[in-house]
Amino acid sequence: MRKLTLVLIGVAFVLATAGMTYAGMVNTEQSATSAKQIRLSGEFDVPMVSRDKGANSILDGVTKPNHQDSDNLWSPSIILNIGIDVGDKISSLIQLQNRRLGNAVGTAANQDFFGGGNVDLGVEQAFIKMEKFMIQDLTFIYGMQNLKTTLRDGEGAFFLDTNNASSNMFAGLLTNKNGAVWCRSKASSEFAGFRFDYGSLKNSNYQATLFFGKVSETATGVDVLHNDTMLQGVLAWFKPNINELLLNGSITQFVNPKADMDMMTIGLGGTYNGAVPNLGLYGEFYTQTGAWSKTVDQAASAYRLGGRYDVEHELKPYVDFSMWMLSGGGTGTKNKNFLSMENVKSTMILEDDTFGLDLDSNYTAMKLEGGIATKVDLDKDGVSEDLKVKLLFGNFTMAKAAVSGVSKKLGTEIDLVGTLQYNPSTSFSLGYATLSGATFFTDAVTYNAKESSMGMIIFGANMKF
């Protein structure tokens, strides 16, 4: 499924049999075996990444980072969506996407121009959707699909994003170094199964989702038993009769009989924009119980709380402050590292799951972000382009030190990112990040780091169609 040739042959066959036009929309003959409409959309993202030897030494896990090289790599992301409507409220989606970097991290990702050579497209989503399934407000979705929960649009998921989370979320517990928990693999996972959606926040004040299926993972080595994990649960959203209040709750369960794992996570969250004009509050909390394995109990928790204030000014300035906590540590019979299928990448070095360290658990953080938005006319054609600039400060500390005498300080990260929306479909971004005071890495014998700082630069171009 990962071979580009087979995928292209399949796409060509679908489009040819449908009689595709250059407009990207197809009207076929009205027969029982023909699609009534085919829609094509997608995204092309090309970042150029420059990392210093400090970041690469941690990603590679070598003991002499002073011998490490800085590197530059390109890692394109290609997404192609094929939406097919066959009538009677039945449709389907086929999403093709390449794997960024594959399993490569650090300097191993710089094997060639494309950062590991992993440019083959594969099936990321493939599902059938039936609206008004048996009753008016019920939607049934079956197949490979993404389960994602976020409090606010445009941000990464704090707990659940099955298609964009790193696949070795469970293996990280057994391969973490000196208590720092991150996923060293960059390959993502997929969820395949059944999903039922009842209600709609667009048309009513509630929505509930019931799902159950399998999470396909690629964990290897000592954690090979966790390759066959089932995921099931309920997600609910509710708008009470209170101005600008939105609540959500979730109960999810990871089950793997082969590994004697049965782990449940209960979550509550919400957003509220009515307390003070221009102030939005948000927060979510999760508690995790059950069995990680036959001999290890799971007892973990996590939360984040924050608020954003928008200033009424032509530059649209804003300030966002948040506090984060993901528990960590434990004993031989109890694991306290919070486990999730997160997709948090608010900081470029510590949290980004593609080019950064992908910090997943066992940390606390305080983040302060501010930004402005303005317009510039770069090509002097009388049409101004949107320009956004944001500055983020993040202070990170391990929640629980696993080794006595090792610093818990993961460092203070400063990110400066500018994004130019050249037209509605195309944008360019330039980001610079620096991490300082990360004395955990200099204290931990495993890394033998001589400096507690690292840096990264990312230049990206993104086109959506």
Q: What is the dihedral of CA 418, 422, 428, 432, to 10 degrees?
A: -10
Residue 263 and residue 253 in contact, taking contact as beta carbons nearer than 8 Å: yes
Count of domains observed in the chain: 1
Q: What are the φ and ψ backbone dihedral angles of 358, each rounded to 5 degrees?
A: 55, 55
- Using the predicted structure, report yes or no on whether residue 24 has a pLDDT greater than 60: no
- CB contact set of 464 (below 8 Å; sequence gap of 6+): 41, 42, 43, 44, 425, 426
For position 111, what pLDDT does the model report? 55
Kindly indicate the confidence band of residue 17, based on its pLDDT and cuts at 50, 70 and 90.
very low
Alpha helices (H) in 298-420, listed in sequence order: none
89 three-state secondary structure: coil
> Measured between alpha carbons, how far is residue 97 from residues 120, 126, 159, 356, 413 in Å?
8, 12, 22, 21, 31
Identify the weakest region by mean pLDDT among 40-44, 170-174, 307-311, 395-399: 170-174
Question: Alpha-carbon distance 264 to 245, whole Å?
Answer: 27
Q: With 50 as the cut, is the pLDDT of residue 20 above it?
A: no
Q: What is the pLDDT of residue 77?
A: 87
Q: Cα torsion at 262, 162, 409, 58 (round to 10°)?
A: 110
Over the stretch 411-456, which tens digit does the pLDDT of each residue have?
Answer: 999 999 999 999 999 999 999 999 999 998 888 776 656 778 999 9
Task: Count CB neighbours of 458 within 10 A.
Answer: 21
How many residues does this entry show for the chain?
A: 465
Q: Percent of the chain beyond pLDDT 90?
A: 46
374-413 pLDDT, tens digit per residue, is 998 887 777 889 999 999 999 999 988 767 778 889 999 9
Q: CA-CA distance, 245 to 280, in Å (whole number)?
A: 10
- More reliable by pLDDT, 446 or 463: 463
Higher pLDDT, 331 or 367: 367
Structure tokens at 306: 């924050």
Q: For the domain that residue 148 is a member of, what is the CATH number?
A: 2.40.160.100
227 — pLDDT class (breaks 50, 70, 90):
low
Burial class (CB in 10 A: 0-12, 13-18, 19+), 3: exposed
CA-CA distances (angstroms) from residue 269 to 24, 281, 393? Answer: 40, 11, 24
Of 137 and 5, which is predicted with more confidence?
137
Indicate the SS3 state at residue 431.
strand
The full 3-state SS of 152-204, as one line of letters, equals CCCCCCCCEECCCCECCCCCHHHHCECCEEECCCCCECEEEEEEEEEECCCCC
Domain extent, residue 81, equals 4-464
Amino acid found at 165: A
Percent of the chain with pLDDT over 70: 77
C-alpha dist (Å) from residue 147 to 345, 411, 418: 18, 32, 30
